[in-house]
Amino acid sequence: MNFQIGDRVSYIDEPVNARVRSVKGNQVLVEREDGFEEWMESSQLVKRGDLKVREVDHKDHKPKRKHSVLKREKTDFLEVDLHIHELVENSRGMTNYQMLQKQLDTARLAIEKARRSFVKKVILIHGVGEGRLRSELHQMLMDMDRLNFYDADFNRYGAGATEVELF
């Protein structure tokens, strides 16, 4: 992706927003919101676009008729992204401990939901980072009964996900 000075960007693997300060080949110097500058591979960044809202005419929209019989959708697995920016609107003001607890609570609730729904597999996407979330997540899973866990499919998730098999 081609970046230009002044572009607003986000990191792919972390909830970090930044602005492009310099570009040299596939290396991009960014200034993060916290004021720190760092060089990043362009493949690790994505441009943040402005949200464009288009007008929708609701007059022609007719609500679909609900069926009286509830159909249970069968799903093979539940996939949960534990990146903090996927769990909260704004993590500013949260300590690292609070963010980690929110992520672990979300994982725990997802496993409970999967059990209640008879889903046999849960994919917990934790990212690579420093490995703290993965480590704490694996410790939590070791303390839980009736499950096995291992690294998820590398081709699909890279090294940033754990697959949990429920029984």
> What CATH number is given to the structural domain containing 13?
2.30.30
Q: Are residues 42 and 98 in the same domain?
A: no
The pLDDT of residue 81 is above 60: yes
First to last CA, the chain: 44
Q: Are residues 108 and 162 in the same domain?
A: yes
Q: Is the dihedral of CA 68, 74, 78, 79 positive or negative?
A: negative
Q: Are residues 27 and 90 in the same domain?
A: no
Model pLDDT, residue 32? 85
Q: Is residue 53 part of a domain?
A: no
CATH value at residue 159: 3.30.1370.110
Dist CA 82 CA 65 (whole Å): 35
The stretch 9-20 carries a mean pLDDT of 83
Question: How many CA atoms within 13 Å lie on the side-chain side of 149?
Answer: 23
The pLDDT of residue 72 is above 50: no
Q: Is residue 31 part of a domain?
A: yes
Q: Is residue 3 part of a domain?
A: no
Total domains in the chain come to 2
The stretch 113-131 carries a mean pLDDT of 91
Q: Are residues 32 and 93 in the same domain?
A: no
More confident call, 102 vs 48? 102
Q: Is residue 104 part of a domain?
A: yes
Q: Is residue 125 part of a domain?
A: yes
Q: Is residue 68 part of a domain?
A: no
The pLDDT of residue 80 is above 70: yes
Q: The domain containing residue 102 runs over which residues? A: 78-166
Q: Is residue 63 part of a domain?
A: no
Q: Are residues 97 and 152 in the same domain?
A: yes
Q: Are residues 38 and 82 in the same domain?
A: no
Q: Is residue 61 part of a domain?
A: no
- Percent of the chain past pLDDT 90, that is, above it, reads 50
Give the tens place of pLDDT for each residue, 34-48.
Answer: 788 889 888 888 888
More confident call, 37 vs 49? 37
